[in-house]
Amino acid sequence: MLTTELNERLTRVGPGTPGGELLRRYWQVVCPAAELTPEKPKKRVRILGEDLVAYRDPDGSYGLVGEHCAHRGCSLYYGFLENGGLRCAYHGWLWDRSGKCLEQPFEPAESMMKHVVRQAAYPVQRIAGLLFAYLGPTPAPMLPRWDVVAREDGTRVIEVQPMIECNWLQAQENSLDPTHVYYLHGHTLFKKGLRKQNSYRPITNYDFEPFEHGIVKKRFYGGDGLNGYQEPGHPAVFPNILRHHTEGRDGDNPFDGSMNIDMHFRIPIDDTHTQVIWLGFTPSADGSFTDPYEEEPELVYVDTLWEENGDFHMATYPSHDSMAWVTQGPIFNRSAENLGASDRGIALWRELLEKQIAIVETGGDPINTFRDPEQNRLIEFSPTRERIGDRYVPRDSEAARSWQEYRPGAREARQANKLQPNKSKIGLPDGKVVPTEAAFYGKD
């Protein structure tokens, strides 16, 4: 339970709010890079309560500026890309990527105003087919090279989910909730006739381990006649990311770098709207190399989370999760909750969030802001493969050699996947089928 005052402190994301100032210390996902093309190089975006325009210059570089021109508020979305900047369609003021005014047509030649006035503008970087922006004070930290984002030995898929009407923290706290999978996902799909049985074994215990990048939640399974199983755990990466992996199922050795991994980015649009973008990484079968800075991943969209009448259809994991978050209200009133033992990870996350807000308020850098290139080479949450020559090969270790595959209910799981609705895979126009979040892992 939180006081109303503390709840406001943790959840509000606008400029000048405690939570908003913290979130501005991190590079946030703006949109997939593929949404900006030479034919349509501009896109309205909203993030952290700010209305912005993202654009792609003819040379392939990117910019992000406040949508409303600092002259008289006209939308720059309708502006013209010229000379490495964006010219307002109303009176022609030209802004460069840093927010500096380059030209003010029809103003006196001796006017000094263009040297004083500034347009809100933020740096943008591209990696893994996503555009990240930094909305905080300078100097900006380095864009984190998380393993899902920066590994070179495979390819990625981007899944864009619809924007939902709730605060970002409701989505992120789900990352610290180890028990929701049994009923929200497994039991729901069974009761809807989409699976022959609940694909989750009973959860017998759970644990939460703080680490340098956030908190890892772990589950212990049992109850189906097999030996008990402790999963390696899923890291909740501060402040608004969940990182997954396949935990050594279906032949993927979790210690040699061959398993699939992914991240959920819970993007704070404003106080009461959130968007989830899912990024999945699959190691290449032959160990071949992909440059994450040049890669153009497959891009798929979740068509809808709802039925025609506005109810959540509850046929997919994104619909399940969104129902749970949205029905808590636009900003959940945490003063009315009653936390149990399984909610300890949520309590720990809130403590971490408050601690990092306090660090920012005293002028410090919160966790996961990297300024040393040595600390940002590749941030691994599980072992990766080793590069030998022009190929990546499985990492050799005692753990990798001694690992034995764990396959609880493999036959049932295969049958359940056959019954899964066609929301777990999305057909593309060229006939290819791309695995998305539910098909990748089927759990969070």
219 and 173 in a common domain: yes
Q: Which of 134, 159, 183 is the last residue of a domain?
A: 134
Q: Is 376 helix (H, G, I), strand (E, B) or coil?
A: helix
Q: Is 334 helix (H, G, I), strand (E, B) or coil?
A: helix
Q: Quote the DSSP letter at residue 186.
A: I
Specify if 22 maps to a domain.
no
CA–CA separation, 381 vs 244, rounded Å? 9
How does pLDDT run across 48-61, given as a tens digit for each residue? 999 999 999 999 99
More confident residue, 84 or 42: 42
Task: Tell which residue, 240, 266, 66, 250, has the closest CA to residue 163.
Answer: 266
How does pLDDT run across 318-350, given as a tens digit for each residue? 999 999 999 999 999 999 999 999 999 999 999
Q: Compute the half-sphere exposure of residue 412: CA atoms within 13 Å on the CB side of its CA.
A: 14
Quick one: pLDDT at residue 220?
Answer: 87
More confident residue, 84 or 301: 301
Quick one: pLDDT at residue 415?
Answer: 47
413 and 274 in a common domain: yes
Specify if 17 maps to a domain.
no
392 and 274 in a common domain: yes
Alpha helices (runs of H) in 288-395, residue ranges in sequence order = 317-326, 344-361
Quick one: pLDDT at residue 420?
Answer: 45
Specify if 12 maps to a domain.
no
Quick one: pLDDT at residue 92?
Answer: 97
Q: Which of 95, 111, 134 is the last residue of a domain?
A: 134
First-to-last alpha carbon distance for the chain, in angstroms, is 24
187 and 82 in a common domain: no
Q: What percent of the chain has pLDDT over 70?
A: 89
CATH code of the domain covering residue 88: 2.102.10.10
b/e 229-253 (16+ beta carbons within 10 angstroms → b): bebbbbbbbbbbbbbbbbbbbeebb
pLDDT at 435 exceeding the cut of 70: no
CA–CA separation, 83 vs 90, rounded Å? 18
Give the mean pLDDT of the chain: 90
209 and 85 in a common domain: no
243 and 116 in a common domain: no
Specify if 18 maps to a domain.
no
How does pLDDT run across 78-124, given as a tens digit for each residue? 999 998 899 999 999 999 999 999 999 999 999 999 999 999 999 99
CATH code of the domain covering residue 381: 3.90.380
262 and 332 in a common domain: yes
Instruction: Point out the least confidently predicted range of 40-49, 162-171, 176-185.
Output: 176-185
Quick one: pLDDT at residue 421?
Answer: 42
Q: Please state the domain count of the chain.
A: 2
Q: Quote the DSSP letter at residue 379.
A: B
259 and 127 in a common domain: no
Specify if 161 maps to a domain.
yes
Quick one: pLDDT at residue 228?
Answer: 66
Return all residues near 294 (Cβ < 8 A) that are at least 6 apart.
Answer: none
Specify if 16 maps to a domain.
no
CA–CA separation, 307 vs 322, rounded Å? 13
CA–CA separation, 289 vs 391, rounded Å? 7
Specify if 169 maps to a domain.
yes
Q: Are 324 and 184 in contact (CB under 8 A)?
A: yes
207 and 62 in a common domain: no
212 and 113 in a common domain: no
210 and 113 in a common domain: no
Cα torsion 208, 211, 214, 217 to 10°: value is: -20
pLDDT at 315 exceeding the cut of 90: yes
pLDDT at 414 exceeding the cut of 50: no
Q: Which of 69, 102, 134 is the last residue of a domain?
A: 134
Single pTM value for the model: 0.91
Specify if 338 maps to a domain.
yes
pLDDT at 253 exceeding the cut of 90: no
Domain hosting residue 224, numbered range:
147-440
How does pLDDT run across 174-189, given as a tens digit for each residue? 999 999 999 999 999 9
322 and 261 in a common domain: yes
CA 357 distance to own-chain centroid: 20
Quick one: pLDDT at residue 405?
Answer: 65
Quick one: pLDDT at residue 234?
Answer: 92
Tell me the average pLDDT across 358-368: 98
Q: Are 42 and 140 in contact (CB under 8 A)?
A: no
